[in-house]
Chain A
Amino acid sequence: MQEFAIILVSSILINNYVLVQFLGLCPFMGVSKKLESAIGMSAATTFVLTLTAMASYIVNELVLMPLGLIYLRTIAFILVIAAVVQFTKMFIEKTSPLLYRVLGVFLPLITTNCAVLGVALQNASKDLNFMQSSLYGFGAGAGFSLVLVLFSAMRERLAAADIPQPFEGAAIAMITAGLMSLAFMGFSGLV
């Protein structure tokens, strides 16, 4: 139990994929303008991350390891991710057409979200078991959601704030992201 808690804290706060490892920055910048779409994107990405962490563990253990094809990890995991994202896309289109429209092009772009591939590859190289890797995947997704929601809430405030003209728009967003990253670096050494 304690081990699971450590995995979660480590993947959400200490090794946060966005702010500490700098993976998955494009949805972090792209979908954070509105809180509502940020929440939708977080949910979709968490779902995909958890599912890919599980699926890539299975593919790695049952197909790649027995055949001695560890060098094929990257391409096999990309295949897994593409399939899971496509599945998620169909699922969301059926269950929530509005969310589907709000997410728009970012939904298929989860495929190219490097955090997803990063989680799968790190799990494989760390030799985690099934439970640990799926928890890692979920933790990474939760960490991504946390910072995305925090960041989008801040950007909504920033949109109404009186910002000096040279810093308007993307510039102030970058500065904010940098400060958030500094703050998250402070978590290192927590465990």
Chain B
Amino acid sequence: MIDAIAQQPMLAALFALVSLGIVFGGLLGFAAEKFKVKGDPIIEQIDNLLPQTQCGQCGFPGCRPYAQSIADGDAINKCPPGGQATINAIANLLDVPAPALDEEHGEEEEIKTIAYIREDECIGCTKCIQACPVDAILGAAKLMHTVIVSECTGCDLCVEPCPVDCIDMLPVIQGIVQWHWPSPASNIDLIATSKIPRREDAA
């Protein structure tokens, strides 16, 4: 049969290329099944770097939608709770330059705060419970509410809806549990090349 096909150059060419195409197509189809990627794993990695405050200050309904949007090419500097540290970490992950925090979405707070409900003033309206993105407020209708300190991310979202203004944002008391070494300032000369003036500074 091969000989018969080889007699006809045009048939032979057609046969060769079509059969090659079929073989490779089959192989790739098999590989596509075998190496199927569920979702985009990079979204997972970005989501892990975000602070999980679910505060929505970036303009997205939570940290994961923002992670998705970053993976699709959105700016990485829209997360005030994470601050510059988060921006640097994401920039490092994605191999892009780290911009400064976008002021439009809020400023990075120097001191971490958490919500505190003055319990004797609380009327039990449950509005702050509905506003809390991380379910850190405990309470029921007509009964006083309180904040679970370890769950609160300090996103400020419960302050606005409170009708009696009984929620304060208090700085976290620094105890032996929360304290950690401050990270080094970013503009000091850590290595020899930091002393070489950057081109944009010189120009």
Check B13 against A72 for contact (C-beta < 8 Å): yes
User: Which stretch of A94-102, A120-128, A133-141, A145-153 is in the interface?
Assistant: A94-102
| A131 contact set on B, CB distance < 8 A | none
| A1 contact set on B, CB distance < 8 A | none
List 6 tightest A-B contacts by C-beta distance, closest first: A83-B24, A94-B35, A97-B41, A90-B35, A67-B12, A67-B6
How far is B48's CA from A62's CA once the two chains are assembled, in angstroms? 51
Closest to A37 in B: B95
How far is B193's CA from A27's CA once the two chains are assembled, in angstroms? 29
| A98 contact set on B, CB distance < 8 A | 42, 45, 93
How far is B24's CA from A97's CA once the two chains are assembled, in angstroms? 24
User: Which stretch of A15-23, A74-82, A180-188 is in the interface?
Assistant: A74-82
| B196 contact set on A, CB distance < 8 A | 160, 162
Closest to A159 in B: B199
Check B16 against A101 for contact (C-beta < 8 Å): no
Check B16 against A87 for contact (C-beta < 8 Å): no
Q: Identify which of residues 1-21 in chain B touch chain A, using a CB-to-CB cut-off of 8 Å.
A: 2, 5-6, 9, 12-13, 15-17, 19-21
Closest to B12 in A: A67
Known contacts A91-B35, A94-B37; decide if A68 and B42 are in contact (CB<8 Å).
no
Check A67 against B35 for contact (C-beta < 8 Å): no
Check B6 against A72 for contact (C-beta < 8 Å): no
> Is A174 interfacial (CB-CB < 8 Å)?
no
Given contacts A97-B42, A160-B196, could you give 5 more A-B pairs where the C-beta distance is less than 8 Å?
A: A36-B95, A76-B16, A80-B24, A98-B93, A160-B193
How many interface residues does B have (CB within 8 Å)?
29
| A86 contact set on B, CB distance < 8 A | 28, 31
> Is A64 interfacial (CB-CB < 8 Å)?
yes
Query: B-contacting residues of A (Cβ < 8 Å)?
Result: 34, 36-37, 59, 63-64, 66-69, 72, 75-76, 79-80, 82-83, 86-87, 90-91, 93-94, 97-98, 101-102, 160, 162
| B40 contact set on A, CB distance < 8 A | 97
Closest to A87 in B: B31
Check B35 against A93 for contact (C-beta < 8 Å): yes
Nearest chain B CB to A66's CB is how many angstroms away? 6
Query: A-contacting residues of B (Cβ < 8 Å)?
Result: 2, 5-6, 9, 12-13, 15-17, 19-21, 24, 27-28, 31-32, 35-37, 40-42, 45, 93-95, 193, 196
| B16 contact set on A, CB distance < 8 A | 63-64, 67, 69, 72, 76
| A36 contact set on B, CB distance < 8 A | 95
Known contacts A83-B28, A86-B28; decide if A69 and B37 are in contact (CB<8 Å).
no
| B5 contact set on A, CB distance < 8 A | 67
| B32 contact set on A, CB distance < 8 A | 90
| B93 contact set on A, CB distance < 8 A | 98
Check B21 against A79 for contact (C-beta < 8 Å): yes
How far is B35's CA from A105's CA once the two chains are assembled, in angstroms? 19
Check B37 against A67 for contact (C-beta < 8 Å): no
Closest to B25 in A: A83
Check B17 against A79 for contact (C-beta < 8 Å): yes
Q: Which of A67, A91, A160 contacts B2 (CB 8 A)?
A: A67
Check A101 against B94 for contact (C-beta < 8 Å): yes
Nearest chain B CB to A69's CB is how many angstroms away? 5
Closest to A94 in B: B35
